[in-house]
Amino acid sequence: MMARKVLALNGDEAAAYAVKQCKPDVIAAYPITPQTIIVERLSDFVADGELDAEFIAVESEHSAMSACIGASAMGARAYTATASQGLALMYEMLFVASSFRLPIVMSVANRALNSPLNIWNDMSDTMGARDCGWIQIYNENSQEVYDFTIQAFRIAEDHRVLLPVMVCHDGFVVSHSTEGVEVLSDGEVDSFLPPRDPVYPLDVEKPVTIGCVGVPEYYPEIKYQQEVATKKSIETIKEILREFNESFGRSYGIVEEYRTDGAEVALLTIGSISGTAKEAVDEMRAEGKPVGLLKLRLFRPFPIEALRKSLSGLKVVGVVDRHISFGSCMGGALNMEVRAALYEMKDRPHVMGFPTGLGGRDIRVEHFLKIIDELLMIAEQDALEEEYKVVGCRGPGCIGP
Amino acid sequence: METWEEVTFAGYILEPGNAESYKTGDWRSRQKPVINQEKCTFCLLCWIYCPDGAIIRKEGEVEIDYYHCKGCGICAYECPSGAIRMRSEMEGE
């Protein structure tokens, strides 16, 4: 095999480059930090004639999603990108996209939500949108952003799935960090991702009504159909990941294990913070501590079976959330979900949550070493005192600063 | 009625113009108009006032279309000869 081209791309540029190769028919987007570079690059590609797409410069994110819904409903391949307040403004239309079962792909450069105004990274935006019926994929670096943007279109458009996909990467940490990204040739992307084959394209001979009233006599049946499709999509996602891995020499899974052999305690991370956490795991391993790490790539649909398998046999799991679910029982959504998934398991591990890196607070190896110390203590005592503890915050009750 | 496996994909409506087969009269609650043909003078005020087009005009008489009538009572209120009365649904047609 010929060596592939390596380009210096930050996360946003990696997303834009992948989208260009996926040849969307319609891009409707509004710039918002830290996603802006994606929209800028794509509008350049269109203006320079490198990408034959309709670029709609909309007046808001609500309109961006609405335009994508219209385009996708008529059979086009539609794409948008957003972050933070933009995603919040889209919220109403997110449900419409998934309930219409439209294979829209959206990049999200994860950013905290106001207030106080904050442009930096955490996952308050997409975690808050976790019940909108979108598939959610979280990426650690530019390479993953590139690879999963391409796979997202395949997943979304697969006739067994037909659901919109959010491809998430951390704002600034990934979106603005330039890394070497091994890119596929246009031909390779074409062979992996054929043109969209819409099930109900706009056709005057076969008119279709989408988005009619769903009276109580029909609404539950339509919603349960959607729930079954979402849950079942996990098998198709695994299949597509396998095909991508085999075709292009990657090794992606929906849950990834790092140094879990013989581990008694493990961190469960999501997104770019996984890289820092791995450093801490390495340091602990060097001292002979039985520590491993699990990186969750897929949050929706939630990979219950894979997670149960990976977590069985562990004594303690520390779940690292990147947001706070205010007033919830477990600090963050990921921690809640992991705990719920393990509840019926015999010999389940203790699970403690660590909401961290809020609003772009830098989380370093030292923080993870403190978290791991806490996990090892829980393992020793075989008891958990607190459900969660915020990391990277000054003051009592938190691990700081 | 259809199960979740039988309803159309995402609730799409795949046949055009099917509003025609939608029985909106089952929204009616409690009461329905009944015509006393002997009192009816065929003035057609009910036919004009009915907001749902649920009065059917026939040769020399009018008939209520219960398939679409919502039971609002406007026809009975407007009828100058007292030929239309609102009756409980329980009384039968």
Cis geometry, peptide bond prior to residue A216 (ω within 30 degrees of 0)? no
Q: How far apart are CA A298 and CA A255, in angstroms?
A: 7
Residue B1, in any domain of the structure: no
Percent of chain B with pLDDT over 70: 98
Tell me how close the Cα of A383 comes to any Cα of chain B, in angstroms. 44
A221 interfacial to chain B (CB closer than 8 Å):
yes
Which positions in chain A touch B16 (Cβ < 8 Å)? 207, 209
CATH number at residue B32: 3.30.70.20
Of A200, A209, A224, the CB nearest to B4: A224
B10/A99 touch (CB, cutoff 8 Å), yes or no: yes
A222/B4 touch (CB, cutoff 8 Å), yes or no: yes
Q: How far apart are CA A302 and CA A317, in angstroms?
A: 17
The answer to whether B75 and B88 have CB atoms below 8 angstroms apart is no
Residue B81, in any domain of the structure: yes
Q: How far apart are CA A202 and CA A338, in angstroms?
A: 42
Structure-model confidence comparison of residues A133 and B24, the more confident one: A133
Question: For residue B22, what pLDDT band results from cuts at 50, 70 and 90?
Answer: confident
Residue B40, in any domain of the structure: yes
A163 interfacial to chain B (CB closer than 8 Å):
no
Mean pLDDT of B22-51: 92
Question: Residue B34 is part of which domain span?
Answer: 24-91
Supply the DSSP string of chain B, one letter for each residue: ---TTTSPGGG-B-STTGGGG--GGGG--SEEEEE-TTT-----HHHHH-TT--EEEETTEEEE-TTT-----HHHHH-TTS-EEEEEGGG--
B60 interfacial to chain A (CB closer than 8 Å):
no
Residue B8, in any domain of the structure: no
Residue B87, in any domain of the structure: yes
ipTM score of complex: 0.92
A226 interfacial to chain B (CB closer than 8 Å):
yes
Contacts with B14 (C-beta within 8 Å, 6 or more apart), sequence order = A200, A206, A208, B8
A221/B7 touch (CB, cutoff 8 Å), yes or no: yes
pLDDT tens readout for residues B64-85 = 999 999 999 999 999 999 999 9
Supply the DSSP string of A142-162, one letter for each residue: HHHHHHHHHHHHHHHHSTTT-
Q: What is the pLDDT of residue B92?
A: 58
A221/B2 touch (CB, cutoff 8 Å), yes or no: yes
Q: Give which of A290, A295, A301 is closest to A253, Cα–Cα.
A: A295
Q: What is the pLDDT of residue A83?
A: 98
Low-confidence ranges of chain A (pLDDT < 50): none
Report the chain B residue with the minimal C-alpha distance to residue A219: B11
Residue B12, in any domain of the structure: no
Report the chain A residue with the minimal C-alpha distance to residue B14: A208
For residue B91, pLDDT beyond 90: no
pLDDT tens readout for residues B41-57 = 999 999 999 999 999 99
- Residue A25, judged by CB atoms within 10 A of its CB (0-12, 13-18, 19+), counts as middle
A295 interfacial to chain B (CB closer than 8 Å):
no
Q: How far apart are CA B8 and CA A216, in angstroms?
A: 16
pTM of this structure: 0.91
Count how many domains chain B has: 1
For residue B93, pLDDT beyond 60: no
Structure tokens at A312: 């069985």
Structure-model confidence comparison of residues A344 and B23, the more confident one: A344
Which positions in chain B touch A209 (Cβ < 8 Å)? 12-13, 16
A201 interfacial to chain B (CB closer than 8 Å):
no
Question: For residue B21, what pLDDT band results from cuts at 50, 70 and 90?
Answer: confident
Q: Map out the domains of chain A as residue ranges.
A: 5-188+202-248, 255-381
Mean pLDDT of B31-36: 95
Tell me how close the Cα of A226 comes to any Cα of chain B, in angstroms. 7
Q: What is the pLDDT of residue A2?
A: 67
Domain A5-188+202-248 matching CATH 1.10.240.10: the answer reads: no
Fold of A255-381: Rossmann fold (3.40.50)
Largest CA distance in chain A: 70
